C-alpha cells in the first residue's frame, strides 16, 4: 500500500523522475507513461511512436488505431489549432456496456431475482453531445438520467423519450422543481423525487395535491460509513446531504399514517465519488441493504435501492495495491452490490429490490482528451561537474552553503534540503542588510542550486523519496509551456490536485531526454500540471523530448471526460476550446462534430463587455492619438483591423493554423 498522508489520503506524488538510461522502445514508453495501465483498452502507442485511440468499430472488427495527431491535422485543415478537446463517443458506449454487462453477469451468478438499471448523473458532463449519446447508446440498457438541479431536470425531461425511463431527482428542490418532476411522471417517465431534507416532503405533498399526481419518493440516507479521499465528505453522519435514520423513520411513519406509504419507491445513498477501495463500497452497500430490509419488513414496498456514484476510474494506473487506483474492476463492483443485496434480502426474507447506480466518472472519463502544443521549454542547467571557485574574501554565507555541498548526508536528504534552504535564506538576509554584495549573493545562489541538484542526484542514486524530495524534483525540472489553461480545461488538477495521465503524442519510439513541469498559458503560479502518473508511482515532473525550434510537439491529457468541461473557469479570459469527435468506420477514422472554441469577443461578452462597444472605444483612442500626433492617420486602418481581428481570434496563443 502507498504511504498515507495524515488526511487519510495517499500522497499525490511519491517518485522521482528518472530519465531512461537503457534501451528504449514503444513498449518501454507504454510502461513509463502508464499507457498500458490507465489506458486499458482505450489507448496505445503505435509502432511509429504515436499515441493512438483504439476506437471500436460498428463492424465488430478489432478496434481502429487512430493517432491523435490525425485529429489535430483534421482541425488544422479547418484553420483551427491547439488547444483542442478530442471526444471519443465509442468510449461512452463501451463504458455503458461494460457496466450493464457486469450487472447482468452478477445478477445471473447470484441468481438475484430483481434487475439493474443505471442512471447517468448529468452533472458529470452536461454537454449536449454527451446527453445525446447517452440517450441513444443507453437506450438498449434502459439507462436513465440523474438530475441534481432544476436546469439538469429541465434538460433530462427533454432528452428522455422512452416511456418508463428512470429519472432520479436529487439535489435541493423548490416548488418549481417538484412541479416539473411531477409533470415528468404524468408524461409516463419513472420520475423519483429524492428527499434530501425533511422539509422537502411538505413541498412534494403540497404540489402533488395541487396537481393531483401521485409522486414516487426516494429518501437519501446519510450513511454512517465515511468515504475516503477527496470526496469523503459526501457521505458519513456529518455529510451535508441526506437524512439520518431517525428522520427517515419519522418521514416514513408520516407517509404511512397519511395513507401514502406506497409513494415511497427508492432508498438512495451516495458514498462519495472515486471510491478506490472495494471494502468501502461493500461497507456502505451493507448498511443501505440493512435499512432497506428493515423498511421492507415493516411493509414499505420500496422498489429501488440506489447506490449513487463512486465507481472509481484508474487515473493513475497504479494497480490494486495503491490507494490512488481502484483495487477492483467494474465486475467486482457489480458483484459486491448484487451479492450484498442477495445475502441481506435472503437473510431477512424480504423481496429483492432493483439495483440502481448513478455511475458518472467511470462512464465519462475516457470520453475526452485534452491536446495542447508545447510552445517553449526553459531548461534548468547546473554546472554539475564544475567546481565553483570561492574567492579569498568569501562571505560566511557562501562558505556555509559550500560546506553543506561538500558533506551531504545520505542518511538525511530531507534534512540536507532543509539546511540548504536555511543557508540560502541567511544569504538573502545578509544581502538585505547590505552585508554582502550583489556578486556575493549571486555566488551563494550558484552554490545553492548546485547543492539542490546534488541532493536530488543522490536521492535518485540511492532510490530515496519523500514529499520534500518530489517537490525538489519539480523545482529542478525544466519548465515546459503548453498552449492551454489548467483553469479552463483541467480544473480538478488545479483545485484538488487530481491526477490525470499526461503523455507526449509523438516520438514515443525515441527516448525522452528532459524532465519537465508543464505550465499553462495563464499568468498564475498555480497554472501548472503538478503530478504525472508514471511506472510504479506518480512523479512531479514529466519526461519529454528535446524539442527543436519550430517543431510541432503536442502533449495529451487523458481521462478528462468527467466533470472537467463545466467546472472550468475563464481565468485570464482563456475560453472554451475547440472540440472534434472521432469515430471509426470500416477500419478508418471518421472526424466529425467540430465545435469552434470561444473567440476573444465571446470570452469578453461572458464577463459582460460588448465587443462592438470595445471596438468603438478603441477607435476613439486611435482618434485621440492621431489628434495628439502620436499616430499618423495612415496607420488608423491597420490599428483598427488588427484590433478587430484580435476580437475574432481564439483566446489562446495563435498557432499558424489560426492566423
Ligand X SMILES: Cc1ncc(COP(=O)(O)O)c(C=O)c1O
Q: Smaller CB distance to ligand X: residue 345 or 359?
A: 359
Give the Cα separation of 320 and 326 in Å (integer).
6
Q: Smaller CB distance to ligand X: residue 149 or 286?
A: 149
CA angle 287, 292, 296 (to 5 degrees): 150
Give the contacts of 212 (CB within 8 A, at least 6 positions apart). Answer: none
Q: How far is the CB of 453 from ligand X (least distance, A)?
A: 41
**Contact present, 418 and 409 (Cβ < 8 Å):** no
**Contact present, 327 and 376 (Cβ < 8 Å):** no
Q: Smaller CB distance to ligand X: residue 138 or 504?
A: 138
Q: How far is the CB of 537 from ligand X (least distance, A)?
A: 24
Q: Smaller CB distance to ligand X: residue 360 or 395?
A: 360
**Contact present, 124 and 149 (Cβ < 8 Å):** no
Q: How far is the CB of 234 from ligand X (least distance, A)?
A: 6
Helix, strand or coil for residue 85? strand
51 by Cβ neighbours in 10 Å (0-12 / 13-18 / 19+) ranks as: buried
CA angle 234, 240, 243 (to 5 degrees): 100
Q: Smaller CB distance to ligand X: residue 155 or 211?
A: 155
What spatial distance separates the first Cα and last Cα of the chain, rounded to whole Å? 51
Q: Which residue is nearest to ligand X (CB)?
A: 309
**Contact present, 195 and 170 (Cβ < 8 Å):** no
Q: Smaller CB distance to ligand X: residue 148 or 184?
A: 148
Q: What are phi and psi of 68, to 5 degrees?
A: -65, -25
Give the Cα separation of 423 and 417 in Å (integer).
10
Q: How far is the CB of 584 from ligand X (least distance, A)?
A: 27
630 by Cβ neighbours in 10 Å (0-12 / 13-18 / 19+) ranks as: exposed
Q: How far is the CB of 273 from ligand X (least distance, A)?
A: 3
Q: How far is the CB of 199 from ligand X (least distance, A)?
A: 19
Q: How far is the CB of 222 from ligand X (least distance, A)?
A: 12
Give the Cα separation of 219 and 201 in Å (integer).
10
Q: Smaller CB distance to ligand X: residue 230 or 618?
A: 230
Q: How far is the CB of 306 from ligand X (least distance, A)?
A: 9
Residues in touch with ligand X (CB under 6 A) = 121, 124, 146, 170, 234, 270, 273-274, 308-311, 358-362, 562
Q: Smaller CB distance to ligand X: residue 248 or 469?
A: 248
Amino acid at each position: 500500500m502507498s504511504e498515507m498522508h495524515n488526511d487519510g489520503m495517499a500522497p499525490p506524488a511519491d517518485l522521482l523522475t528518472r530519465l531512461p538510461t537503457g534501451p528504449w522502445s514503444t513498449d518501454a514508453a507504454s510502461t513509463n507513461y502508464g499507457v498500458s495501465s490507465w489506458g486499458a483498452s482505450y489507448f496505445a502507442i503505435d509502432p511509429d511512436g504515436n499515441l493512438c485511440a483504439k476506437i471500436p468499430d460498428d463492424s465488430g472488427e478489432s478496434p481502429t488505431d487512430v493517432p491523435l495527431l490525425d485529429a489535430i491535422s483534421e482541425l488544422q485543415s479547418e484553420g483551427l489549432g491547439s488547444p483542442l478537446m478530442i471526444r471519443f463517443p465509442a468510449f461512452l458506449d463501451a463504458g455503458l456496456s461494460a457496466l450493464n454487462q457486469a450487472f447482468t453477469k452478477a445478477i445471473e451468478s447470484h441468481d438475484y431475482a430483481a434487475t439493474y438499471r443505471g442512471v447517468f448523473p448529468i452533472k458529470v458532463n452536461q454537454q449536449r453531445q454527451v446527453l445525446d449519446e447517452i440517450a441513444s447508446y443507453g437506450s438498449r440498457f434502459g439507462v436513465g438520467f440523474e438530475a441534481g438541479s432544476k436546469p439538469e431536470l429541465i434538460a433530462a425531461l427533454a432528452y428522455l423519450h422512452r416511456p418508463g425511463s428512470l429519472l432520479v431527482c436529487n439535489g435541493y428542490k423548490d416548488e418549481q422543481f417538484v412541479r416539473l418532476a411531477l409533470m415528468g411522471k404524468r408524461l409516463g417517465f419513472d420520475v423519483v423525487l429524492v428527499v434530501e431534507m425533511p422539509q422537502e416532503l411538505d413541498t412534494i405533498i403540497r404540489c402533488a395535491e395541487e396537481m393531483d399526481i401521485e409522486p414516487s419518493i426516494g429518501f437519501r440516507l446519510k450513511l454512517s460509513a465515511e468515504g475516503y479521499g477527496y470526496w469523503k465528505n459526501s457521505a458519513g453522519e456529518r455529510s451535508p446531504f441526506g437524512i439520518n435514520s431517525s428522520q427517515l423513520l419519522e418521514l416514513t411513519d408520516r407517509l404511512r399514517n397519511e395513507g401514502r406509504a406506497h409513494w415511497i419507491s427508492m432508498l438512495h445513498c451516495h458514498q462519495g465519488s472515486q471510491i478506490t477501495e472495494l471494502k468501502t463500497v461493500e461497507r456502505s452497500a451493507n448498511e443501505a441493504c440493512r435499512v432497506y430490509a428493515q423498511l421492507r419488513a415493516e411493509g414499505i414496498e420500496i422498489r429501488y435501492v440506489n447506490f449513487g456514484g463512486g465507481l472509481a476510474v484508474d487515473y493513475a494506473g497504479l494497480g490494486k495495491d495503491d490507494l490512488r487506483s481502484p483495487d477492483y474492476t467494474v465486475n467486482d463492483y457489480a458483484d459486491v452490490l448484487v451479492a450484498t443485496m442477495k445475502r441481506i434480502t435472503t437473510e431477512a426474507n424480504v423481496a429483492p429490490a432493483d439495483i440502481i447506480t448513478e455511475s458518472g466518472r467511470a462512464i465519462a472519463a475516457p470520453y475526452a482528451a485534452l491536446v495542447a502544443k508545447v510552445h517553449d521549454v526553459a531548461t534548468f542547467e547546473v554546472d554539475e561537474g564544475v567546481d565553483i571557485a570561492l574567492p579569498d574574501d568569501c562571505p560566511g554565507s557562501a562558505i556555509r552553503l559550500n560546506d553543506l555541498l561538500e558533506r551531504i548526508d545520505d542518511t538525511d536528504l530531507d534534512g540536507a534540503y532543509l539546511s540548504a534552504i536555511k543557508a540560502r535564506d541567511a544569504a538573502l538576509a545578509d544581502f538585505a542588510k547590505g552585508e554582502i554584495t550583489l556578486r556575493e549573493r549571486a555566488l551563494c545562489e550558484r552554490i545553492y542550486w548546485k547543492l539542490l541538484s546534488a541532493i536530488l542526484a543522490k536521492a535518485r542514486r540511492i532510490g530515496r523519496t519523500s514529499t520534500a524530495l518530489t517537490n525538489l524534483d519539480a523545482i529542478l525540472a525544466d519548465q515546459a509551456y503548453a498552449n492551454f489553461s489548467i483553469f479552463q480545461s483541467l480544473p480538478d488538477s488545479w483545485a484538488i490536485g487530481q491526477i490525470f495521465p499526461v503523455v507526449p503524442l509523438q516520438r514515443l519510439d525515441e527516448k525522452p531526454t528532459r524532465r519537465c513541469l508543464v505550465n499553462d498559458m495563464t499568468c498564475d503560479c498555480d497554472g501548472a500540471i503538478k503530478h504525472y502518473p508514471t511506472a510504479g508511482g506518480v512523479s512531479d515532473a514529466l519526461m519529454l523530448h528535446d524539442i527543436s525550434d519550430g517543431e510541432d510537439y503536442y502533449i495529451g491529457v487523458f481521462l478528462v471526460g468527467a466533470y472537467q468541461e463545466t467546472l472550468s473557469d475563464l481565468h485570464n479570459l482563456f475560453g472554451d476550446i475547440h472540440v472534434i469527435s472521432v469515430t471509426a468506420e470500416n477500419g478508418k477514422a471518421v472526424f466529425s462534430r467540430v465545435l469552434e472554441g470561444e473567440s476573444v469577443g465571446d470570452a469578453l461578452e461572458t464577463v459582460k463587455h460588448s465587443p462592438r462597444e470595445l471596438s468603438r472605444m478603441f477607435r476613439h483612442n486611435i482618434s485621440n492619438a492621431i489628434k495628439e500626433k502620436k499616430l499618423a492617420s495612415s496607420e488608423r486602418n491597420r490599428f483598427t483591423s488588427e484590433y478587430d481581428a484580435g476580437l475574432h481570434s481564439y483566446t489562446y496563443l495563435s498557432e499558424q493554423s489560426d492566423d
